[in-house]
Amino acid sequence: MNVKGVRMKTKMVGILAGFLMVATAAAALAAGGEGHHVDSGVLLKDFLYRCFNFAVTFGLLAYFVTKPIRKGLAGRKEGIEKALGEAKAAQDRAEAKFAEYDDKLTKASAEIDDIYAAIKREGEMERERILANAREMAHKIEDEAKKSAALEIAKARVELQREASDMALKLAEELLKKNFNSNDQNRLVDEYMKKVGELH
C-alpha cells in the first residue's frame, strides 16, 4: 500500500466522521423536543463544542497515526524497491550464468561431436590397416602353401621316379634272370672284347 492510498483512506474516514456528527446532532435535537425545553442556543453550543472536540481529537489521531504509517510505508516501499533491485540483479546474474553454461554446453557438445568423429576416423583407419594386414598375411600364406605344394609335388616326383627306377631295375633284373643263359653270356663277352679291340 502506498502513501496515496493512506491519504485516500484518511479522507474517507473524515467524511464518515462528519456524517456521524450530523447524525448525532439530529438525534440530540430530536430528543430535546420531547422532554423539557432547553435553550436551543445552549444545545447548539454544546453540539459545536463536542464536534470541535471530536474534530481536534480525530485530527490529532490522524496526524500522529498517519505519520508513522507513512514512514512505515515509505520504509516498506524502499525495502520493496531494494528487494526488487536485488531480485533484478540476481536475475541478471542468473541469466549471465545461464548464458555462460549454455555456451559451455554448446562448446562441450561440439567437442564431443569432434571427438566422436575423430574416434570414428581412427576406427575406420584401424579397420583398413587390419584388413590390409590380413590380406597381406593371406597372400603370404597362399604363397607359402604354393611353395610347400610345389616342394611336395617335386618330392613326390623324385620319389616316384626313384620308385619307378627301382621297379624298372627289378623288372630288368628279373627278365635277365629269366631270359639270360650261358649263350647270351658268351655272346656279350665276345661283343665286349670285339669293341675293346676296335678301340685299340
Res 189 pLDDT > 60: yes
Res 22 pLDDT > 70: no
Residue from 55, 61, 62 nearest 20 by CA: 55
Average pLDDT over residues 45-62: 84
Amino acid 93: pLDDT: 92
Tens of pLDDT, residues 57-105: 887 877 777 777 777 777 788 888 888 999 999 999 999 999 999 998 9
Place of cell 634272370: 177
Amino acid 200: pLDDT: 57
Q: Among 21-35, 86-100, 152-166, which range has the highest average pLDDT?
A: 86-100
Res 35 pLDDT > 50: no
Residues whose CB is less than 8 angstroms from the CB of residue 73 and which lie 6 or more positions away in sequence, other chains included: 1, 2, 3, 6
Residue boundaries of the structural domains of the chain:
149-199
pTM: 0.34
Average pLDDT over residues 153-157: 85
